């Protein structure tokens, strides 16, 4: 499979300890927001789009990439890649030049001015080579950025000065996954936890201040692409590492394994972030479908609640997600399946309640890896689909209720042999920040 493991834009429980130091309620300082749960909590947001769509406040030219923006303390951080020439539309990633520069950019959130950039040469050997995949993580006065070939940087958030750097391939003998390094690093206390790879180092915790290794854990032939996820169960924190062979829970302080459930994922496609609701923990993948675990109430342990019965992405049952991290709420699962079907399922059994293609396609036809990212706001959702549209809709067991949609940004990436936007937007300052392979834009979503 020449797959879409890129935006990966791959969620976890909303525990306060996941909020990076210094983040405000109005910021979006990391993957999926302040609490890494895909919920936008600001007030004063529009109920419907104006007739002409959201007002674009600024746009700034950037290079290619799937890295979503993060927003913190009046600044926007994003990664891109600069090469000599992009491939002709529809030709896929193999036509992109292997040599180029990865960049970490910092922009003024108010007007889009580039305040600083850190650039470095990096040869790509990965498929779908538009650019970096990972959303920068802002933690107080530092920003952490992970490139597609394993360049891990800690930078001063104000100036861009490099504080420390690690080369994950060289330091851990970790082979770059076919679709590149894509697991968004997680800050937990003094630790920066990363999905790495290599023997005994699928997950690695670094001292976030110095970059020194604290612990390493797990081995897998393919590390997959799923970001490290912190949950709380049985009265204690558990670090969830889902690699392409098993779903694992670790002690975040030591890396010791609490429990592990085998779950081989074809093509290494462990991507969408695990989701917790009550004592249920869900993962789901393109070929092999879903696995739902039930967490023990009195100790760090888990048993299988249910799993999918199909390992075929066309003949699916339940939910075969690709890049879209599902949203769990009120006993139900909302997620995008293998060919763009937005589905609602019962969380306790996996039974399908409804399905629609309205959120991901214009003509109602199924499309391989069709995608929309899901963000909750108040009693509705903002859905950013691969067509560059932003949709406001209510998702309930009763069905999909679309309130409105607007064209937010142009789809420009031709890698899946159609032009798409596979980068997760950020929601902050009553605005939305979105990027494609040519520009990053900021549009107002504030009530007048």
pLDDT, tens only, 361-405: 989 999 999 999 999 999 999 999 999 999 999 999 999 999 999
What CA–CA distance (Å, rounded) separates 417 from 352? 30
Please tell me the predicted confidence (pLDDT) of residue 119: 98
Say if CB 223 and CB 243 are below 8 A apart.
yes
Nearest CA among 136, 64, 143, 153 for reference residue 100: 64
pLDDT, tens only, 206-232: 999 999 999 999 999 999 999 999 999
pLDDT, tens only, 91-143: 444 568 899 999 999 999 999 999 999 999 999 999 999 999 999 999 999 99
Strand, coil or helix: what is 429?
coil
% residues pLDDT > 70 (the chain):
92
Q: Residue 354: beta bridge partners?
A: 344
Q: List, in order of start, the domains of the chain with CATH numbers.
A: 16-444 (2.130.10.10)
Return the CA Rg of the chain.
Answer: 20
């Amino acid at each position: 499979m020449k797959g879409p493991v890129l935006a990966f834009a791959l969620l976890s429980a909303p525990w306060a300890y996941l909020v990076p130091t210094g983040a405000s309620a109005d910021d979006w300082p990391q993957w999926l927001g302040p609490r890494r749960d895909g919920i936008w909590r600001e007030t004063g947001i529009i109920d419907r789009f104006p007739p002409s769509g959201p007002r674009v406040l600024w746009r700034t030219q950037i290079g290619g990439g799937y890295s979503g923006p993060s927003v913190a303390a009046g600044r926007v951080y994003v990664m891109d890649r600069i090469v000599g020439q992009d491939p002709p539309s529809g030709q896929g990633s193999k036509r992109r030049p292997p040599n180029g520069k990865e960049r970490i950019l910092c922009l003024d959130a108010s007007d889009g001015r580039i305040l600083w950039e850190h650039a470095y040469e990096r040869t790509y050997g990965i498929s779908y080579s538009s650019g970096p995949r990972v959303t920068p993580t802002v933690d107080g006065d530092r920003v952490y950025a992970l490139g597609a070939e394993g360049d891990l940087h800690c930078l001063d958030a104000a100036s861009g000065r490099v504080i420390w750097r690690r080369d994950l391939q060289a330091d851990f003998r970790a082979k770059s996954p076919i679709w590149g390094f894509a697991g968004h690093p997680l800050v937990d206390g003094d630790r920066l936890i990363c999905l790495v790879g290599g023997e005994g180092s699928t997950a690695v915790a670094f001292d976030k201040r110095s970059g020194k290794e604290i612990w390493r854990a797990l081995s897998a032939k393919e590390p997959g692409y799923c970001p490290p996820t912190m949950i709380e169960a049985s009265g204690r924190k558990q670090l969830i590492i889902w690699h392409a062979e098993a779903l694992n829970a670790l002690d975040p302080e030591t890396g010791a394994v609490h429990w592990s459930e085998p779950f081989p994922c074809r093509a290494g496609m462990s991507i969408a972030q695990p989701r917790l609701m009550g004592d249920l923990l869900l993962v789901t993948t393109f070929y092999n479908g879903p696995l739902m675990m039930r967490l023990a109430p009195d100790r760090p342990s888990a048993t299988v609640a249910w799993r999918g019965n199909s390992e075929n992405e066309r003949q699916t049952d339940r939910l075969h997600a690709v890049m879209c991290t599902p949203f769990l709420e009120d006993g139900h699962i909302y997620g995008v399946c293998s060919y763009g079907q937005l589905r609602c399922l019962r969380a306790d059994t996996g039974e399908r309640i409804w399905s629609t293609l309205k959120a991901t396609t214009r003509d109602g036809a199924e499309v391989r890896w069709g995608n929309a990212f899901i963000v909750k706001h108040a009693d509705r959702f903002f859905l950013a689909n691969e067509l560059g549209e932003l949709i406001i809709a209510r998702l309930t067991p009763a069905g999909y209720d679309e309130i409105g949609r607007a064209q937010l940004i142009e789809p420009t990436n031709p890698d899946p042999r159609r032009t798409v936007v596979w980068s997760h937007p950020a929601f902050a300052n009553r605005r939305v920040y979105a990027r494609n392979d040519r520009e990053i834009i900021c549009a107002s979503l504030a009530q007048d």
